Structure 1
Amino acid sequence: MTTTSRLGIVGGLGSLAGGDLFYKLVKSRAVLEDQGRYHFLFEQHPFKDVLLPLDRHASMTARKFYVFQVCKTFEDSGVDAVLLPCFASQTFREEIQQELGIPVLDMMQALVRHILSSVAPGTTLGVIASDFVRHAGLFEQHLGQHFNLVYPEDHAQVALMEAMYGVNGIKDGHLDGVPLESVYQACLSLQGQGATVIVPGMTELSLVCGDLQRRGIGVLDINQIYAEFATQADGPRRQPPFKLGIVGGVGPAATVDFMGKVVAHTPAGKDQDHIKMVVEQNPQIPDRTANLLRDETDPTLALYATCKRLESAGAQAIAIPCNTAHAFVERIQAHLRVPIVNMLSETVEWIVSTYGSGQAVGLLATSGTLQSQVYHQAARRSGLQLITPGFDYQALVMKAIYGERGIKAGFIEGVCREQLLLAAEHLCEQGARVLILGCTELPLVLAHSESFRVGNYRVALVDPTTILARRCIGLSSDGRNTV
């Protein structure tokens, strides 16, 4: 079965050149041979700076915003890749790419690939470009290592800019007469400097390529090259930067704590080395424990809706820093395109790899988590024996979390800590030497530790949010979005 390829074309940056690219895509060999495979979307909106000349000091701000908005529309509509037919916009393509989950195809890469396959290294290339693109160093960056680059002489460059951007210029649809002659003279200027191939740095050059070639100018058609590049079966598809989605607000402080752990455990030398995170802090998600224990409002839909919004925001994996919420993960996951990183399974696997199977492990968690048996199921699969508090000690755990002076009320010292330590010592007395801090509020009071004194015992405290943070960082480092 043929896979459909949906390609979006950003129009409006040079309306005629964008339309020319669309035409050359439709009539390209790949499309004509398999017309059912390719779907094209052409998006063009009023862009107030479109007719401004791209002089040396032209501002790119409005252009960046316009390009991003059109690309984001494409992303939201399910487009597989975007074509950006504008050399000035190629100078900030990487900035746009960093904010999208779909690839913006690199027009300069298409051009370089074509030239390297057909032109001998060391050849002198003449570049027809706007003042802005010329002084941005775009061609030096991509072609300067292999070729000698020359530009039109000053008087020819001035005439070229007028031919493109002036009244009755090529961007306005005047493709012959004085504008064409000015472009021709610029090409002759390049040939006079030894150029044997004329390289386009303006997409509008494609509109007059045929006329120039008939006059003996060896000019490349960038729109044809870009169209062929985009429709190649093995065309490049860049994996977007990893973005982690976080279901926040369950509870709010635990969400902030989890984000802090992601930052703290990321091996980063500068801000840009950290991973992207998109968070929906949604404290209005109904209480998970109340639903499991007393059949109060079901949080499944709210959790699902939050995950879908994270998915729409480009998340490649989702973390839910709430142990009890994992009782609802299985019913949600089947309806998502991206994986939820299962904090409970990751925690159990980490304990087995660190302390071995067959361990007696104590679990401090909400009564809802205990009743749902989600930790018990994961533990049984890994050969761990779970020990849970007796009735009175479990009541202490719940008071430490939900009480008037509990963690959810903003307390991390005093009675809530004492209650947790009593429950922890109770588990140690039953033989536990590893304790899972199985509610994301608990690490706000008791930190992850290899050796922590509880009464007369030494015990390892395992913080699932730390394990989850490390796993999410690992997904980012591996460049994967599957768990």
Structure 2
Amino acid sequence: MKTTSRLGIVGGLGSLAGGDLFYKLVKSRAVLEDQRRYHFLFEQHPFKDVLLPLDRNASMTARKFYVFQVCKTFENTGVDAVLLPCFASQTFRAEIQQELGIPVLDMMHALVRHITRRIAPGTTLGVIASDFVRHSGLFEQHLGQHFNLVYPEDHAQAALMEAMYGVNGIKDGHLDGVPLESVYQACLSLQGQGATVIVPGMTELSLVCGDLQRRGISALDINQIYAEFATQADGSARQPPFKLGIVGGVGPAATVDFMGKVVAHTPAGKDQDHIKMVVEQNPQIPDRTANLLRDETDPTLALYATCKRLESAGAQAIAIPCNTAHAFVERIQAHLRVPIVNMLSETVEWIVQTYGSRQAVGLLATSGTLQSQVYHQAARGCGLQLITPGFDYQALVMEAIYGERGIKAGFTAGVCREQLLLAAEHLCEQGAKVLILGCTELPLVLAHCEAFEIGAHRVALVDPTTVLARRCVSLSSGAHRVG
């Protein structure tokens, strides 16, 4: 098992307790035995609610935002795992985890593991916690099934809250005198209810744990437990939820169409079953066809920059719902850490699997896609022969896409449809039994269909964006490796 080497510690939620955890990490046995293996980052920023007592109705909103922002900073700097030394924050740890690609180590899991290995089920545990944590059900959720939990009596709990959060309290660094005595009395209250072990529900308890133990209180040190857990945990084991990056705006309507197909082909019973998607709708990416045909502005850098932003946003795979843009994919892919799912090769492979390699296949696409030969290269790899329109019919395809009443101008019926049907019938007359709708605007007019009637011909229409959407859905389920 690989031990986590780069650990981030979220400070600022309880400054002294966070510092105490850092100290106990540094002096833990695992770290002292192999100091070169560990790299610790302690991040603390001003947090406006840090001095507010965690009473029963305390709001967690500002705390959630603070924790998330610090964790994202850690993620962006390549940290392997994050420690979150705050019991109140453990109540929403799963929410934070859902938005990150690195693990936030579960402090409650560390505590439960420590207790269940050393203490017999059925034992009465006394819990020292803030009003908020006490009433959140956190300890009942994790320990209530196997242990009897008791809390300080009301007057002892009130004194405990004052000792922790009041003026000159333990959070302010006053670790002896009245604050310590109040914590001690709370522990006695728990012992009076039959507790044999005092379980921490405040990280600040670690600051006075040694003093309590010297007074005969069997109190657990959560920072020591969490530090030992962190140096044994395998932070690389977590697989974040699948997130699909989409290069949008090429063209804009085709992007929306593709996203709709991803949603439509995802087996889901509720919103949360759908795929995370991050989209950069960037219509300013230079025209791909204009570059390939007339050597106008090269779109490579704009496509690459968009992909890098999607990569930085946590995308694990990138989809480009634009056929012509795939002429630039090969030169971009080598400089990305995440794969671009190649719509063209996926389409050709799907045709071979569905109709066989000997089927005559026609290609309706922009002149730029045809000139780049990207579909032809993909087809040759699968043994397919492609049929393309003659000059006049290719002009009809381009007019249907780019014309004044074309698809990019917002039209999906009328002249543009008739022009496409003429070109499609022309390919059928040349023997095509399958037609690739090889421009993402075309499926806005002609849909993916196994049997489409064109004049006297019956032909299968293959929509590459539908194929791509299905492939991305399969990747999200883990059914296939991205590659």
* Partners of 1:2 and 1:37 within 8 A in 2: no
Deviation of the 1:112 alpha carbon: 1.3
1:368 aligns with 2:368: yes
Measure, in 1, the Cα distance between the counterparts of 2:456 and 2:416.
20
Q: What are the ranges of 5 or more consecutive residues in structure 2 without an aligned counterpart?
A: none
Deviation of the 1:482 alpha carbon: 2.3
1:46 aligns with 2:46: yes
User: 1:390-417, CA deviations, whole angstroms, 9 ceiling, x for partnerless residues?
Assistant: 1111111111111111111111001110
Measure, in 2, the Cα distance between the counterparts of 1:197 and 1:326.
64
User: How many residues get paired?
Assistant: 483
For residue 276 of structure 2, what is the aligned residue in structure 1? 276
User: 1:43-83, CA deviations, whole angstroms, 9 ceiling, x for partnerless residues?
Assistant: 11111111111000001111111111111111222222111
CA pair 348-355 structure 1, distance change in 2 beyond 3 A = same
User: 1:257-301, CA deviations, whole angstroms, 9 ceiling, x for partnerless residues?
Assistant: 011111111111111111111110000101111111111111110
Measure, in 2, the Cα distance between the counterparts of 1:357 and 1:334.
30
* Partners of 1:85 and 1:203 within 8 A in 2: yes
* Partners of 1:156 and 1:182 within 8 A in 2: yes
Measure, in 2, the Cα distance between the counterparts of 1:241 and 1:366.
36
Measure, in 1, the Cα distance between the counterparts of 2:4 and 2:216.
40
Measure, in 2, the Cα distance between the counterparts of 1:480 and 1:70.
33
User: 1:82-130, CA deviations, whole angstroms, 9 ceiling, x for partnerless residues?
Assistant: 1111000111111111222222111111111111222222221111110
* Partners of 2:49 and 2:62 within 8 A in 1: yes
CA pair 482-32 structure 1, distance change in 2 beyond 3 A = farther
* Partners of 2:4 and 2:231 within 8 A in 1: no
* Partners of 2:4 and 2:81 within 8 A in 1: no
TM-score normalised according to structure 1 size: 0.97
Deviation of the 1:152 alpha carbon: 1.0
CA pair 236-303 structure 1, distance change in 2 beyond 3 A = closer
Deviation of the 1:481 alpha carbon: 6.5
SS in 1 for 2:24: helix
* Partners of 1:317 and 1:481 within 8 A in 2: no
CA pair 481-205 structure 1, distance change in 2 beyond 3 A = farther
Deviation of the 1:386 alpha carbon: 1.1
* Partners of 2:266 and 2:473 within 8 A in 1: yes
Deviating more after overlay: 198-207 vs 384-393: 384-393
Deviation of the 1:238 alpha carbon: 2.5
Measure, in 2, the Cα distance between the counterparts of 1:295 and 1:213.
78
Measure, in 1, the Cα distance between the counterparts of 2:440 and 2:3.
43
Deviation of the 1:365 alpha carbon: 0.7
CA pair 207-236 structure 1, distance change in 2 beyond 3 A = farther
For residue 126 of structure 1, what is the aligned residue in structure 2? 126
Deviation of the 1:320 alpha carbon: 0.4
User: 1:138-179, CA deviations, whole angstroms, 9 ceiling, x for partnerless residues?
Assistant: 011111112111111111111111110011110000111111
* Partners of 2:364 and 2:397 within 8 A in 1: yes
* Partners of 1:170 and 1:204 within 8 A in 2: yes
Deviation of the 1:435 alpha carbon: 0.8
Deviation of the 1:234 alpha carbon: 3.4
**Equivalent pairs: percent with the same residue?**
92
Q: What are the ranges of 5 or more consecutive residues in structure 1 without an aligned counterpart?
A: none
* Partners of 1:4 and 1:36 within 8 A in 2: no
Deviation of the 1:35 alpha carbon: 1.5
CA pair 143-314 structure 1, distance change in 2 beyond 3 A = same
* Partners of 1:242 and 1:479 within 8 A in 2: no
* Partners of 2:2 and 2:236 within 8 A in 1: no
Measure, in 2, the Cα distance between the counterparts of 1:389 and 1:3.
59
Deviation of the 1:233 alpha carbon: 5.2
Deviation of the 1:210 alpha carbon: 0.8
Deviation of the 1:40 alpha carbon: 1.1
What RMSD in Å do the two structures reach over aligned CA positions?
1.6
CA pair 306-40 structure 1, distance change in 2 beyond 3 A = same
Deviating more after overlay: 130-139 vs 43-52: 43-52
Deviating more after overlay: 298-307 vs 347-356: 347-356
Deviating more after overlay: 296-305 vs 187-196: 187-196
SS in 1 for 2:36: coil
For residue 314 of structure 1, what is the aligned residue in structure 2? 314
CA pair 221-236 structure 1, distance change in 2 beyond 3 A = farther
Measure, in 2, the Cα distance between the counterparts of 1:432 and 1:178.
89
Measure, in 2, the Cα distance between the counterparts of 1:367 and 1:185.
83
CA pair 377-312 structure 1, distance change in 2 beyond 3 A = same
CA pair 480-143 structure 1, distance change in 2 beyond 3 A = farther
For residue 136 of structure 2, what is the aligned residue in structure 1? 136
* Partners of 1:451 and 1:460 within 8 A in 2: yes
Deviating more after overlay: 200-209 vs 227-236: 227-236
CA pair 94-445 structure 1, distance change in 2 beyond 3 A = same
SS in 1 for 2:329: helix
Deviation of the 1:342 alpha carbon: 0.8
SS in 2 for 1:36: helix
Deviation of the 1:237 alpha carbon: 3.8
TM-score normalised according to structure 2 size: 0.97
Deviation of the 1:480 alpha carbon: 6.9
Measure, in 2, the Cα distance between the counterparts of 1:428 and 1:266.
33
